[in-house]
């Protein structure tokens, strides 16, 4: 029983640390990308008046950016829900561990 608890807790710690590292890596990668996109948008907007095809492309680009923002928000919500579920699991595990220790103390004395 104790080994199962230790294994489960080790897995939970590993999963939370991996997601934290992934989240930190994503923020580092996003900064240069947003700078490049902003520069590209400025260039597109200056050329937009001269060519209607580029105007259509910039509209599609704006639509894609909105979709990306929506997907990022959805992913963030999913991660928060996952984190809450992990916290609930850890809480249940702690409660079970405390009950188990209490039962052992009752059986073998302390």
* Residue pLDDT, tens place only, 25-38: 656 555 555 555 55
Distance CA(48)–CA(54), nearest Å, equals 6
- 65: pLDDT confidence band, cut at 50, 70 and 90? very high
Give the pLDDT of residue 15: 67
CB atoms within 10 A of CB 73: 10
Which is nearest to 83 in space by CA: 72, 95, 91? Answer: 91
Domain ranges of the chain: 56-110
CB-based contact 93:9 (threshold 8 Å): yes
Q: pTM for the whole thing?
A: 0.41
Q: What are phi and psi of 14, to 5 degrees?
A: -65, -45
Beta strands in the chain (DSSP E): none
């Amino acid at each position: 029983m104790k080994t199962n608890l230790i294994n489960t807790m080790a897995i939970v710690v590993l999963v939370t640390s991996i997601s934290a590292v992934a989240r930190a890596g994503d923020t580092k990668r996003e900064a240069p990308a947003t700078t490049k996109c902003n520069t590209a948008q400025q260039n597109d907007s200056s050329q937009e008046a001269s060519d209607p095809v580029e105007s259509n492309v910039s509209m599609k680009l704006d639509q894609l950016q909105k979709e990306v923002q929506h997907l990022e928000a959805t992913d963030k919500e999913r991660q928060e829900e996952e984190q809450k579920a992990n916290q609930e699991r850890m809480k249940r595990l702690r409660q079970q561990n405390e009950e188990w220790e209490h039962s052992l103390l009752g059986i073998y004395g302390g």
